């Protein structure tokens, strides 16, 4: 995360991009700087026609202010989305910057939106989402490269006062990939905050480092849910992203593991800074409030930094926290991290994730 998201005046950043574009025309097939307002009701035409397979980089500066008191701002790592053509899939920027190979030929469209606003993967907007009152927006440099993106970004960075091109080149060279078997939940998009790790002093695990960000990893399963079904896992939380109770929209920054059911609901097991163990509550965010329920399984800071073993009776927890008819199957396990509302930092490691029951076991890993 760079400092460009804190700048009220993006003029110098944009001016630097225009100069860097002019200085690197030999590396760029096309380029543009696009302004994305916070409350757009439709996708913004970038003016760029991309060709299938070509490398495109986006650099996003600015912030969308969704509340003044408390001060809640979302940055382009959470709210910058792109798609190719009117029927292409909505895809989020990985950080304040992203690079992708165009999935098809067509016009590139951009938009600034909260991850919950989508009606479908195509990027149609949910009419029930409350959009009034958001201010600000993003300036986005769109760079269509003639060759390798990392090399182009490195040279482009010489004239980029924002530091975003250099950050994106470093991200590409680091080559961090989504942990094996997992995939980003499309509604939230890829983030780069989860990765696999293993060393002599720790078991193989998935590490999560979440700063001013939001991410959900999804592991597809098909497991029967009955009274014997249990979710087991090991985790080591080293930093909680909130020091306040996480059950309000303004403080809903947390770390958790979740099970997704065939009925579209999910139950997340969270570590709270303040709420008592056993507390459950519906997600305080629009759209998610009808689908997601949180249950607190750890609280406070006393056990931070230690590996802890957990096991939860899923059917019993569903009945207590959600209620109603019990779904018959679990269709996914999720890892969730949010730190975008209070702009804090969360860090957690997950290992030995497993669904157990009389009908069998599903080892999810790592």
Residue count (the chain):
366
SS3 track for 6-71: HCCCCHHHHHHHHHHHHHCCCCEEEEEEEEEECCCCCCEEEEEEECCCCEEEEEEEEEEEEECCCC
Spell out the domains of the chain, with CATH numbers in brackets: 4-174 (2.60.120.430), 183-363 (2.60.120)
Closest by CA position to 17, among listed 57, 51, 64, 50: 57
What are the pLDDT tens digits along the chain (366 aa)?
444 444 557 888 999 999 999 999 999 999 999 999 987 888 999 999 999 999 999 999 998 887 777 888 888 998 999 999 988 999 999 999 999 999 999 999 999 988 778 889 889 888 777 666 778 899 999 999 998 999 999 999 999 989 999 999 999 988 777 889 999 999 998 888 999 988 777 878 999 999 999 999 999 999 999 999 999 999 999 999 999 999 999 999 999 999 999 999 999 999 999 999 999 999 999 889 999 999 999 999 999 999 999 999 999 999 999 999 999 999 999 999 999 899 999 999 999 999 999 887 788 877
Q: Which residues contact 342 (CB under 8 A, 6 or more apart)?
A: 241, 242, 244, 250, 251, 253
């Amino acid at each position: 995360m760079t400092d460009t998201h804190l700048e009220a005046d993006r003029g110098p950043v944009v001016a630097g991009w225009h100069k860097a574009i002019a200085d690197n025309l030999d590396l760029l097939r096309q380029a543009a700087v696009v302004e994305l307002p916070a409350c757009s009701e439709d996708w913004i035409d970038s003016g760029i026609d991309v060709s299938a397979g070509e490398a495109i980089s986006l650099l996003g500066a600015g912030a969308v202010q969704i509340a003044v008191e408390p001060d809640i701002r979302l940055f382009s790592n959470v709210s910058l989305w792109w798609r190719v053509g009117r029927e292409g899939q909505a895809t989020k920027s990985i950080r304040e910057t992203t690079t992708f190979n165009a999935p098809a030929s067509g016009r590139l469209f951009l938009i600034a939106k909260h991850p919950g606003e989508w009606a479908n993967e195509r990027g149609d907007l949910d009419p029930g989402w409350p959009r009034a009152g958001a201010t600000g927006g993003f300036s986005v440099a769109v760079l269509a490269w003639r060759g390798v993106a990392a090399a182009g970004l490195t040279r482009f960075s010489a004239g980029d006062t924002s530091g975003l091109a250099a950050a994106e080149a470093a991200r590409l060279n680091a080559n961090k990939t989504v942990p094996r078997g997992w995939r980003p939940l499309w509604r939230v998009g890829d983030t780069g905050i989860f990765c696999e790790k293993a060393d002599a002093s720790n078991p193989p695990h998935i590490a999560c480092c979440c700063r001013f960000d939001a991410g959900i990893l999804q592991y597809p399963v098909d497991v029967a849910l009955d009274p014997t079904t249990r979710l087991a896992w090991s985790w080591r939380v080293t930093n909680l992203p909130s020091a306040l109770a996480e059950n309000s929209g303004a403080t809903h920054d947390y770390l958790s593991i979740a099970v997704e059911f065939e009925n579209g609901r999910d139950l997340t097991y969270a570590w709270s800074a303040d709420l008592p163990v056993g507390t459950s509550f519906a997600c305080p965010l629009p759209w998610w409030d009808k689908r997601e329920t949180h249950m607190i399984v750890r609280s406070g800071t006393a056990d931070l930094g230690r590996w802890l073993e957990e096991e939860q009776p899923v059917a019993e927890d569903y009945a207590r926290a959600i209620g109603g008819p019990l779904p018959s199957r679990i269709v996914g396990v999720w890892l969730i991290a949010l730190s975008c509302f209070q702009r804090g930092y969360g860090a957690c490691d997950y290992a030995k994730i497993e669904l157990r029951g009389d009908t069998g076991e599903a080892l999810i890993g790592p």
